Amino acid sequence: MNPPTTDPVSAIAPGAGDLPRLTLVAPDGARAEVYLDGAQVVSWVPAGGQERLFLSRRSAFRAGAPIRGGVPVVFPQFGTTGPLPLHGLVRLMPWEFAGAEVAGEGARATFRLSDTGDSRRLWDHAFLAELAVATGGSELSMTLAVTNTGAEPFEFTAAFHTYLAVADITTTLVAGLAGLRYRDAAAGGVEAHQVSAQIDFPGEVNRIYFNAPAEARVVEAGRTTVVQKAGFADAVVWNPAAAKCATMADLEPEDYRQFVCVEAATVGAPIQLAPGGRWQGTQTLVA
Ligand code: TA6
């Protein structure tokens, strides 16, 4: 059961497909929208600013189906690195709203999810996942905390699969990852080193950058978005380009021009959690 939203900063109402959607509004006007399905942030407007996340007009909004855009929470498996459905389980599950509050100039909402019979059939581990979403000023901050509530150790990979809205992918650059080793999924998984200072997008880019620094920047003509992370070792950069985009039923053929995914992630070295152990990772977007 989700508690009633009597706090001053949030309200839950039916969103697309009648799925419950929380709107979080900070005292300074910064706002975010979060579907309880997947605890998926789908909109972020900094104070006095404009929408900074991409959300596909063709996305499914149906319980148990992934939403295309915003910030899907990836856990306990990134991509196809294991036997689970692509990007794991929790983006497909309904989370519980655990409350919202004013925090300084910002507003903060928390969501919770535990293992279920369905999740145990696919991944036989007991866990508690907690997601905190905070916005205020020019920032959107998300913290994922995972606790092993079972009696056996487990390991997992995770990410915030962040779809940042851009005006034009052909003039967008990602900076801050030079010198890093990466796995190039668009080239069959070969490994390479990032030589140039900035990543551009002449075609599909699908890379996991290992041991990435705490900050990457998405640089467009006239604006920059900073992606900061803590607790996540790696960073993923993805844009499908025209050919792959055309094969994706929940994207318009030209949608690849309008987003780049830059993702705080832990993929290269899975997190090991002993019984009772807790891990957390944070991603902060700065407009
Ligand atoms: O993060 C990049 C990626 O793993 C790509 O390989 C691409 O498939 C993308 O995620 C989207 O995955 P999805 O399951 O949402 O279609």
pLDDT value of position 1: 47
The answer to whether 146 touches 128, Cβ cutoff 8 Å, is: yes
Helix (H) or strand (E) holding 109: strand 106-114
The atom number, within ligand 1, closest to the CA of 79 reads 4
Point out the residues that are catalytic. Answer: 161, 263
Q: Which stretches in the chain have pLDDT values below 50?
A: 1, 4-6
The atom number, within ligand 1, closest to the CA of 68 reads 15
Q: Is the pTM of this model over 0.85?
A: yes
Give residue 261 CA to ligand 1 midpoint distance, Å. 9
* Other Cβ atoms within 10 Å of 253 Cβ, number: 12
**Residue whose CA lies nearest to ligand 1 atom number 1:** 238
Give residue 250 CA to ligand 1 midpoint distance, Å. 12
Give residue 156 CA to ligand 1 midpoint distance, Å. 17
Site of tokens 């655990």? 98
Local structure of 158: helix, strand or coil? strand
Q: Are strands 73-74 and 173-175 parallel, antiparallel or unpaired?
A: unpaired
Report DSSP letters for 196-263, one per residue.
SSEE--SS-EEEEETT--SEEEEEETTEEEEEEEES--EEEEEE-HHHHHHT-TTS-TTGGGGEEEEE
47 Cβ contact partners less than 8 Å away, ≥ 6 residues apart:
26, 28, 29, 30, 136, 137, 138
pLDDT value of position 103: 85
Average pLDDT, the chain: 96
Mutate to test the pocket of ligand 1, among 67, 182, 238 (most ligand atoms within 8 A of CB): 238
Give the per-residue SS3 of 51-84.
Answer: CCECECCCCCCCCCCCCCECECEEECCCCCCCCC
State how far the Cα of 245 lies from the Cα of 240, in Å rounded to an integer: 6
